[in-house]
């Protein structure tokens, strides 16, 4: 259910009651989602035309089936493309903590072993210190956020400190 909730908040889909089973839901495109599918279809047709693909005329019944299959395929493509975004952009409960953790990890990974102790001794700017204090206060006040942050940074930082022989 959490994935469906997340999809509803990020993707032009909505949850509808299943007509045959009240315990289930159907995931349907909204009007915005349908327009995106139409745009994807138009882009696909443009690509086919530009590539010189031959489009043959078929019987109307076959065209209806083909159109339904294209809509299903395009809907799947839309959902798949969005699902690729979810783990990196929306998968986190703490996106700001993710950015801070990534900066901390990058700082350690791009620093040489001699630079780490030197960087620690340099006083931070007033703005940087204020930002760090806000982050530290938030981590003190929210144990789940703190655990999330530490789980994310502990491995890369510990590994770097071990490589630099700053921990035994």
Start-to-end CA distance of the chain, whole Å, equals 45
Q: What pLDDT does 85 receive?
A: 45
Residue 167 has pLDDT above 60, yes or no: yes
Q: How far is CA 153 from the centre of its chain?
A: 19
The reported pTM is 0.44
Angle, vertex CA 125, rays to CA 119 and CA 128, nearest 5: 90
Q: What is the pLDDT of residues 100-120, one digit of tens each?
A: 899 889 988 888 888 877 777
Which residues pair with residue 17 across a beta bridge?
A: 25
Q: Are 78 and 38 in contact (CB under 8 A)?
A: no
Interhelix angle 31-50/60-85, nearest 10 degrees: 110
């Amino acid at each position: 259910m959490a994935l469906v909730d997340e999809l509803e908040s990020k993707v032009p889909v909505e949850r509808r009651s299943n007509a045959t089973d009240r315990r289930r839901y159907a995931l349907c495109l909204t009007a915005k989602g349908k327009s995106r599918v139409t745009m994807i279809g138009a882009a696909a047709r443009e690509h086919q035309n530009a590539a010189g693909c031959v489009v043959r005329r078929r019987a109307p019944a076959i065209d209806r089936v083909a159109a339904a299959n294209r809509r299903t395929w395009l809907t799947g493509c839309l959902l798949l493309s969005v699902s690729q975004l979810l783990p990196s952009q929306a998968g986190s409960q703490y996106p700001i903590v993710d950015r801070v953790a990534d900066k901390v990890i990058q700082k350690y990974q791009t620093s040489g072993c001699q630079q780490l102790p030197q960087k620690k001794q340099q006083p931070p700017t007033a703005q940087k210190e204020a930002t760090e204090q806000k982050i530290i206060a938030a981590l003190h006040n929210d144990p789940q956020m703190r655990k999330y942050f530490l789980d994310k940074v502990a491995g890369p930082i510990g590994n770097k400190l071990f490589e630099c022989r700053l921990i035994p």
